[in-house]
Structure 1
Amino acid sequence: MKFTDGFWQLRPGVTALYGQEAYDIQRTDATADGPGLIVTAPTSVITRRGDTLNRPVLTVTLSSPLNGVIRVRIAHHEGRPWHGGFALPGAVEGGAAAASVTETGGELTTGRLTARIAPGAPWSLSFEVDGQRVTGSGSRAQGYVRLAADAATDHGIVGNARADSGVPDERAFVHEQLDLGVGELIYGLGERFGPLVKNGQSVEIWNADGGTSSEQAYKSVPLHVSSRGYGVLVNDPGHVSYEIGSEAVERVQFSVPGEVLEYFVLAGPTPKDVLERYTALTGRPPVVPAWSYGLWLSTSFTTDYDEATVTGFIDEMARRELPVSVFHFDCFWMREFQWCDFEWDPRVFPDPDGMLARLHERDLRVCVWINPYIAQRSALFAEAAASGFLVTRPDGSIWQWDLWQAGMGLVDFTNPDATAWYQGKLRALIDQGVDCFKTDFGERIPTDVVWADGADPSRMHNLYAQLYNAAVHEVLVEARGEGDAVLFARSATAGGQTMPVHWGGDSTSTFPSMAETLRGGLSLAMSGFAYWSHDIGGFEGTPDAAVFKRWTAFGLLGSHSRFHGSQSYRVPWMFDEEAVEVTRIFTHLKMRLMPYLYAAGIEATRTGVPLMRPMVLEFPGDPAMGYLDRQYMLGSDILVAPVFSADGEVEFYLPPGPWTHLLSGEVVEGGAWRRERHGFDTLPIYVRPGAVIPWGARSDRPDYDYLDGLELRVFPGGSGIADVTITAPDGRSQRFEVDRSAVTG
């Protein structure tokens, strides 16, 4: 949100008070994190006693919840209620007892990170990583802003305006501006489909159902990661507005409505270090089951289907040697106008128990679509309404609308009884044979409502996704165990990485949408999400054969892979026979890579580093990597450059060293841009110099014994001994020492 009119002036109707000096700096042991500093920042320089009268102040508190993490809290009126931040499992009281606090000079050090407040005027708060200043808050950076009733800003409508779920009107804001250095690049802020580098963008952290071709996002995360070796998490689940070099071009501004702004600075020095600290604070991703890495085949959305359709798809996939791990039933497994009543439509699925048993006999897992809405026609609506399980309006009536499902209500997951009721419906499906759930929606959450626990509606808008997915994930963990629970979720915010997997939402069936989908996944990866998927071929419309085949290769070179669409099926033989061959090549390749991918997933549980990585995450010291968003690293050692054209021409950058094409075995020298032309059965997929890639023995399924028949493929460009640990799905591990020095190109 923009408050200023150029460098010198404020916009009409905007008044602002800025912290002008550090008037006094005091040590305190009273923060939630242990020892810290409290700074009084008057909004005018105090030159005599009389200046302290009729003068607002900002109170700035610094503390450390975790090694290498500093919490900054800026408050105007502390007595006004603050709706609170995110659940932070890593921020335990006293967890940063090693933090060093120096009152004189205003210094707080935790691990590699130091905050320094210069006494007196002008206001100056700087942050250092390993002794080097990386950013800071200077003149007119910390501000308390009020808008007149008729103030005009560039705020506009944020969110789904037609769905009564836009940002509420606010009149008071607190903002911070952190310095943006020369050449510094900013990443993250959730799954955003524009350029990977966020410099020059205005970004609103407010979940919305806007598709992949808009500025809206299903997964908004107020975390940005800097190329200068630090990250910043704004600890506010509500609306956070960013101006990233777009208002004050030498600063990153973030603002929140209300009287309090709280943020965390996370030390690097590398982006991986930032994500490791961030996920230590907000929660690590868990191990997901090996079977979930296999191909997910869907009915698609509005297509006609029944058990015969499903069986026909599965038979034909098997006949053509196209391994499928999960079959997904989308919305119309339930009867129209009744979503969600959690009942199979008896007209097309008269024997759901028998059908699920037959699918399990074919060694398939079953996923079904759900959402958090209860349609008025569903028998569950009256049941939920009578029990007080649906969100209400301020007058006590049930909140309803007709978008999506006629007269639908919204389950109130702040009510423990409502959550237990909803979970009971899911348990019945699990008992029937359902293995996992696609948790769709969760973004169009209204703000003109009352929540059972009294939560601030603006806080609940983004946080609803967390409560919804947590309710479902908890049931799966209870039924399947920690290592066998997996969602297929669309909405999320900070902390959502603890309940994988997430997919990219509603793309169109075109090459540009394929590219924007990739950008969304890379942006989400830089926001702490380890696993990610998307609709292969695009969701809206029907892709032509070229788009489908190129997207198939891309989609099978990620952590999770799903064929899904809207009005048409996504089985490959409906495009052409070459699409069948492309699917066979890349499903078999992914199955062979399972020891490698599964190891990367285990790494993510320890470090938070995602499987699919922007180039800058893996090569932070190479300036050529900064803007690359048409290629990525799959794990630490495989580079993938999807082809976004029918003619197969693709341009990408290889870092220095001898890189080996995984499919052809050709060795090429990196350190330069390359232009290649590929048929549909191949794409640029290069192995890092000196890498050791564990190669599995099976190509028919993802959940096999990786140690049985394992090959360790050693690639040119390395030296010395490489330690490689392979873990099978049953938990058995074996460590290998591999001599790389004898391998040449």
Structure 2
Amino acid sequence: MKFTDGMWCLRRHRGDTLNSPTISAEVTSPLEGIIGVKLVHWAGQVDNGPHYHITSATGHSKIDHIDDAVHFKSGHSKLTIKTSPNDLDFVWSGDSGQKLTGHSFRSIGRWTDGLYMEHEGYMLAELDLGVNEKLYGLGERFGPFVKNGQTVDIWNEDGGTSSELAYKNIPFYLSSKGYGVFVRHSGKVSLELQSERTTRVNISVPGQELEYFVIFGGTPKEVLRRYAALTGQPSLVPSWSYNLWLTTSFTTSYDEQTVTGFLDGFRDRDIPLGVFHFDAFWMKSYQWCDLQFDEDYFPNATDYMKRLKERGLKISVWLNSYVGQASPLFKEGKEKGYFIKRLDGSVWQLDMWQAGMAIVDFTNPKASKWYTDHLMRLMDMGVDSFKTDFAERIPFRNVKFFDGSDPLRMHNYYSLLYNKAVYEAMIDRVGKANSLLFARSTAPGGQAYPVHWGGDCESTFEAMAESLRGGLSLMLSGYIFWASDIGGFEGTPPPALYKRWVQFGLFSSHSRLHGSSSYRVPWIYGEDCSDVLRECVKRKISLTPYILREALHGHRACVPLMRPMFLEFPDDPNTYTIDTQYMFGSNLLVAPVFTEEGSVTFYVPRSSKDDSRGKWVSWFDYKKTYEPGQWYTETHDFSTLPVLIRPGTATAVNFRLKSPQDDPLDGLQIIVNGRLTQSDWEIEIVDPKNTHEVLNTIAVDSVTDGIIRI
């Protein structure tokens, strides 16, 4: 929200000249290197929450009073506050003493919309920006990757991938100067990122207080590590989830015969498939969600689940937290008070999506258990995972929640409760090592309930590129796993796009073929599409030892599997604006092809650590080398794309694997490119049966027979 008219004029009325409010500031440090400020106008307001959870500790900060300033230190981060009259100034600095950000002239305020009327008003904080400073993150955002110049509202919406709206809004941005800012407010947070004031980020929230934390890290990776320590560590996922997922698509017609035909087609074409997903119409029309297989199409679902299991498949089903009036669950939920209510106590209902639908109120523990008990029944039938769709259309006017939470603040926060309830129900039944979701919406802390996918994209190259931008932005917001709808959701992809998205999608952390009104099985686009898919799936499976190791590192340090280039190469200024390529883990550069003819331009980054270790080489041709610090333009057929191996690295692969769950040591090979340092000689091999555990640690020089040296 904008509050100024140019540099000099505030938007005000005459009443503002008569009375002046006061704002108090409370400074805290929940964890080392993180300093927070809470700005409070009126302290007498009722606070019904909810609030995003943060982790805190003590004993890592100290305060010094020197002359007319207070110096608040936490690790290598320092906040200096000038306290002389009429000269209030906040300055954050890092270990070098260089300013990170701060509050300079006229940068803290309170705006109201009238003198005598009841009003909520807004709190405003403006944080300084430096020369050439770039900003990133704020959740899964599909517009420009660098957020400078944008206006961003943190408010979950179902808007597809081609608009400014987002399913996954995270009030955290990462700066190229080595710090991040997390706004701890679960309601609507508005940010003007160098768009209202060209030297500032303006942050405003409705209400009487605003709390934010400046997280110093020095490097982008360290900022993300500390952000995760504050808001929650990312959880790991089972190894089988890295295999290919196939769905029925959304509005297509399907039954047991259709599904079986798809599975036979994959088997006959030798395309590995790990997970089959039943989308919305596994339930009867108008009854979403009744959490019952439609007997007209699946007359004996329990037996059919067994037959699918005999094929070695995991099973996923679609659900949301909405209950249509025609669902048998509606009457029970209404009678027991399990739905979000209007102020008069009646059930809040809507005809948009499902006729007369209600929404489960997860602030009610009994409602949560009621809902998840039905999921337990489905897991007993053989379901292994749930696609937790929607949760963005949460009402916030004239409604009330069971626990009395502020509806405005519950709008975004609801997705956490929804995903948490389903995820923890899975843990109760199958354990953490085998639990994961396929979730669309989220909020801060949601990295604990993986995986998340990119929502409804169109079947175009442009949508493929915007999906990548969204994924990379989410990866800079505390998340380590992400997927897109391979081929695009809306429309039917032409064969060239299908094959290029397959290449990209199988170099994502998770890979799912999914559409809306058309199937995504490859042979309907041509048997050459089947060939491309087969090669891409088998290549990803061969990379399982590498993927599991990188994921475990991501869990420990909040480093995503798909990494924006500057996250891995912060010393190369050319990487800070690149959004059409990424690092897949620490060793592999991937540049998806976004053109029908196969032309692709990509950048090979520089690193002082890497430059003495050799050259980058092509995954497909070890004789093909690339110089660091150079741009390249190539044309690729559908058998390849730019995938480069970083110099000075050892990458664990196993070309014998038939699935990610197989023994990684039987046939293990190490691809070594260039000269290794001593710290690179040991590689952790993660147990595919428990991705939290290390099965073995391989000393590269002790397995010379298994090493492919480039």
Output the TM-score relative to the length of structure 2: 0.94
Are positions 1:633 and 2:598 aligned together?
A: no
Q: In the alignment, which of 106, 110, 115 is matched to residue 74 of structure 2?
A: 110
Residue identity opposite 2:192 in structure 1: E
C-alpha deviation, 1:86, in angstroms:
3.6
CA shift in 2, pair 1:112/1:717, >3 Å? same
Q: In the alignment, which of 611, 616, 621 is matched to residue 571 of structure 2?
A: 621
Is 1:509–1:543's contact at 8 Å kept on the other side of the alignment?
A: yes
The aligned runs of 1:352-501 (5 Å cut-off) are 352-448=301-397, 449-501=399-451
Could you say which residue in structure 2 is the equivalent of 1:3? 3
Q: In the alignment, which of 541, 545, 553 is matched to residue 503 of structure 2?
A: 553
Could you say which residue in structure 2 is the equivalent of 1:255? 204
Distance 1:277 1:308 in 2: 50
The aligned runs of 1:201-240 (5 Å cut-off) are 201-240=150-189
Distance 2:14 2:675 in 1: 60
SS in structure 2 of the partner of residue 489 of structure 1 = coil
Are positions 1:119 and 2:83 aligned together?
A: yes
CA shift in 2, pair 1:16/1:556, >3 Å? farther
Structure 2, gaps ≥5 residues long: none
C-alpha deviation, 1:279, in angstroms:
0.6
Residue identity opposite 1:70 in structure 2: I
C-alpha deviation, 1:11, in angstroms:
2.9
Residue identity opposite 1:668 in structure 2: Y
Residue identity opposite 2:669 in structure 1: E
Distance 1:320 1:203 in 2: 46
Deviates more, 1:457-466 or 1:53-62: 53-62
Is 2:563–2:582's contact at 8 Å kept on the other side of the alignment?
A: yes
Deviations 1:45-94 (A, max 9, x none): xxxxxxxx965321001011111111210000111124546443522xxx
The aligned runs of 1:274-293 (5 Å cut-off) are 274-293=223-242
Could you say which residue in structure 2 is the equivalent of 1:522? 472
C-alpha deviation, 1:609, in angstroms:
0.9
Distance 2:697 2:269 in 1: 36
Could you say which residue in structure 2 is the equivalent of 1:663? 620
Distance 2:14 2:419 in 1: 39
CA shift in 2, pair 1:349/1:664, >3 Å? same
C-alpha deviation, 1:276, in angstroms:
0.4
Could you say which residue in structure 2 is the equivalent of 1:41? none
Q: In the alignment, which of 27, 35, 40 is matched to residue 75 of structure 1?
A: 40
C-alpha deviation, 1:670, in angstroms:
2.2
C-alpha deviation, 1:16, in angstroms:
7.3
Q: Quick one: percent identity of the two aligned structures?
A: 48
Structure 1, gaps ≥5 residues long: 18-52, 152-168
Is 2:669–2:708's contact at 8 Å kept on the other side of the alignment?
A: no
Deviations 1:521-564 (A, max 9, x none): 00000001110011000000100001100000000001100000
Is 1:275–1:609's contact at 8 Å kept on the other side of the alignment?
A: yes
Could you say which residue in structure 1 is the equivalent of 2:29? 64
C-alpha deviation, 1:14, in angstroms:
9.8
Are positions 1:706 and 2:667 aligned together?
A: no
Deviates more, 1:560-569 or 1:311-320: 311-320
C-alpha deviation, 1:636, in angstroms:
0.7
SS in structure 1 of the partner of residue 317 of structure 2 = strand
Could you say which residue in structure 2 is the equivalent of 1:88? 53
Is 1:124–1:136's contact at 8 Å kept on the other side of the alignment?
A: yes
C-alpha deviation, 1:699, in angstroms:
4.2
Could you say which residue in structure 2 is the equivalent of 1:40? none
Distance 1:360 1:586 in 2: 24
Number of paired residues?
690
Are positions 1:645 and 2:595 aligned together?
A: yes
Could you say which residue in structure 1 is the equivalent of 2:541? 591
CA shift in 2, pair 1:149/1:638, >3 Å? farther
Deviations 1:486-542 (A, max 9, x none): 000000010110000000000000000000000000000000111001100000010
SS in structure 2 of the partner of residue 358 of structure 1 = helix
Distance 2:420 2:655 in 1: 36
Q: In the alignment, which of 89, 96, 104 is matched to residue 138 of structure 1?
A: 104
Distance 1:744 1:432 in 2: 48
Distance 1:268 1:342 in 2: 46
Distance 1:15 1:462 in 2: 34
Is 2:437–2:451's contact at 8 Å kept on the other side of the alignment?
A: yes
Deviations 1:562-615 (A, max 9, x none): 000000100000101111111011101000001011111111111111111100
Is 2:50–2:410's contact at 8 Å kept on the other side of the alignment?
A: no
Is 1:726–1:734's contact at 8 Å kept on the other side of the alignment?
A: yes
Is 1:589–1:699's contact at 8 Å kept on the other side of the alignment?
A: no
Is 1:219–1:490's contact at 8 Å kept on the other side of the alignment?
A: yes
Is 2:52–2:184's contact at 8 Å kept on the other side of the alignment?
A: no
Is 2:648–2:676's contact at 8 Å kept on the other side of the alignment?
A: yes
Distance 2:94 2:246 in 1: 47
Distance 1:340 1:732 in 2: 40
Output the TM-score relative to the length of structure 1: 0.90
Distance 1:362 1:257 in 2: 54
Is 1:83–1:459's contact at 8 Å kept on the other side of the alignment?
A: no
Is 1:721–1:739's contact at 8 Å kept on the other side of the alignment?
A: no
